[in-house]
Amino acid sequence: MENIIDLEDFSKENPGKGPDKGKKYQIRINREKFVVKVDAMKGSEILELADKKPYQNFQLNQLFRHGTVKKINHDENVDFTEPGIERFMTIPLDQQEGAV
C-alpha cells in the first residue's frame, strides 16, 4: 500500500510538526479529499484541482489547527510540509461586488 499522508489527521496527531517531504499527501478542499504527489502547489493549482474554474472567480483559504484561517493568493505557493495545515476552503467571488 502506498504511503499517503492525510494532512488533516497528521496535524491533529502531530501538533507543531509538519510531514516529511517527498510523500503523497491527502488534502481536503471543502468536503472533498484529493491525493497530490507534490510537496507544494500554487493557490490557482489547488482551485483547479477542486474544479473551481476559472480559478480567478474563487478565493482560496487555508485552515490551520486551532481555527486560524489564511487567504491564499492565486500565485502563492502552499507548502504541504508546513506544520498545522488541516484543510482548504473555496469561496466564490461575487461578480456584482461594488455594483450599484
Residue 64, domain CATH: 3.10.20.90
Inside any domain, residue 61 = yes
Q: Is position 8 within any domain? A: yes
What is residue 43's predicted lDDT score, i.e. its pLDDT? 98
Question: In the predicted model, what is the mean pLDDT of the chain?
Answer: 91
Residue 98 — pLDDT band, cuts 50, 70, 90?
low
Bridge partners, 26 (sequence order): 6, 35
- As a whole number, mean pLDDT of residues 25-32 equals 96
100 part of a folded domain: no
Residue 75 lies in a domain: yes
pLDDT surpasses 80 at 77: yes
98 belongs to a structural domain: no
Task: Select from 39, 34, 48, 82 the least CA-distant residue to 62.
Answer: 82
pLDDT in tens, 46-56: 999 999 999 99
pLDDT at 22: 81
* Portion of the chain with pLDDT greater than 70, in percent: 92
CA 5 to chain centre: 14
Cβ-in-10-Å burial (0-12, 13-18, 19+) of 41 comes to buried
Question: Is position 18 within any domain?
Answer: yes
Q: Is residue 35 part of a domain?
A: yes
20 lies in which domain range?
4-92
Distance (Å, whole) CA 18 – CA 65: 12
Report yes or no on 99 lying in a domain: no
How many structural domains compose the chain? 1
All three cell numbers of 69, joined, read 484561517
